[in-house]
């Protein structure tokens, strides 16, 4: 049986070690293999794509473009409809625009903007454990598995103005904001599943096996 290829993008914007370890754990003795994507050619024969991200919206966008990965990623998840999981900033760049330092255009796959938490006396970044409330189930995110469970967050910006049908789960941090988004073959999580112990591993495993 030919193994399906999980493509993990190394954008140089953060350490991929934790997510790589979680993926390898998930595919042990299963018909999958891991491929690190560092160049445009690495997208060849990939079946699913995971993009972890740390730091700033613009930094990740610019890094992908500098490495000539941006257009290939966009084509893979839109034209080819490959399943995609974006983690933290890897989710945020799916937005129409990011607003860190200056307005910068995102991939415009999920309509909405990435804006900074603005409430006074709110600790920023939002860092630590917080729960999610499932609003819409799909094959990767099930209410019975994940509803009101705690996940690990580190971020100062959130996804604003997302269409209701694209919001899979919300989290409260002075406001209720989308912490999981999904649209067709595309999934995004604001938290870090690779740092969220067994419950986070459940998400990675579901994406690999069920998306």
Catalytic residues: 88, 192, 194
How many whole angstroms separate alpha carbon 121 and alpha carbon 101?
21
Is the sign of the CA dihedral 106, 109, 111, 117 positive or negative? negative
How many whole angstroms separate alpha carbon 187 and alpha carbon 181?
6
pLDDT at 55: 80
Query: What residues contact 69, with CB distance under 8 A and at least 6 apart?
Result: 9, 11, 37, 39, 40, 43
pLDDT at 200: 94
| Strands laid side by side in the 97-100 sheet | 102-105, 97-100, 113-116, 157-160
Per-residue pLDDT reduced to its tens digit, 145-183: 899 999 999 999 999 999 999 999 999 999 999 999 999
Do residues 194 and 54 touch, judged by C-beta distance below 8 A? no
**pLDDT-derived band of residue 48, with 50, 70 and 90 as boundaries?**
very high
Query: What residues contact 10, with CB distance under 8 A and at least 6 apart?
Result: 16, 36, 37, 38
Query: What residues contact 145, with CB distance under 8 A and at least 6 apart?
Result: 199, 202, 206
pLDDT at 185: 97
Identify the CATH number of the domain in which residue 176 sits. Answer: 3.40.50.880
pLDDT at 16: 87
The shares of helix, strand and coil residues in the chain, as percent rounded to the nearest 5, are 30, 35, 35
Average pLDDT of every residue of the chain: 94
What per-residue string of b and e applies to 130-157 under the rule 16 or more CB within 10 Å gives b?
A: bebbbbebeebbeeeebeebebbbebeb
**pLDDT-derived band of residue 86, with 50, 70 and 90 as boundaries?**
very high
pLDDT at 161: 97
Q: Which residue has the tokens 């900074």?
A: 116
| Residues spanned by the domain of 124 | 4-210
pLDDT at 197: 92
pLDDT at 121: 86
Do residues 108 and 210 touch, judged by C-beta distance below 8 A? no
- Average pLDDT over every residue of 51-76: 93
Count of domains for the chain: 1
Per-residue pLDDT reduced to its tens digit, 89-144: 999 999 999 998 889 999 999 999 999 998 888 999 999 999 999 999 999 999 99
């Amino acid at each position: 049986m030919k193994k399906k290829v999980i493509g993990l993008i190394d954008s140089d914007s953060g350490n991929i070690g934790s997510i790589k370890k979680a993926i390898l754990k998930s595919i042990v003795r299963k018909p999958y293999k891991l491929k690190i994507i560092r160049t445009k050619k690495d997208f060849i024969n990939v079946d699913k794509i995971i993009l972890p991200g740390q730091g700033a919206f613009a930094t990740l966008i610019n890094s992908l473009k500098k490495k000539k990965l941006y257009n290939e990623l966009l084509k893979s998840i839109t034209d080819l409809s490959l399943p995609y999981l974006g983690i933290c900033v890897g989710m945020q760049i799916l937005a129409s625009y990011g607003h860190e330092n200056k307005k910068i255009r995102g991939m415009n796959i999920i309509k909405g903007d990435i804006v900074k938490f603005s409430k006074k006396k709110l600790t920023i970044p939002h860092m630590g454990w917080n729960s999610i409330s499932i609003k819409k189930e799909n094959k990767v995110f099930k209410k019975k598995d994940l509803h009101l469970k705690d996940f690990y967050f580190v971020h100062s910006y959130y996804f604003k103005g997302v269409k209701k049908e694209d919001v899979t789960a919300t989290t409260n941090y002075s406001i209720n904001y989308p912490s999981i988004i999904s649209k067709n073959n595309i999934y995004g999580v604001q938290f870090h599943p690779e740092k969220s112990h067994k419950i986070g591993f459940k998400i990675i495993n579901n994406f690999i096996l069920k998306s």
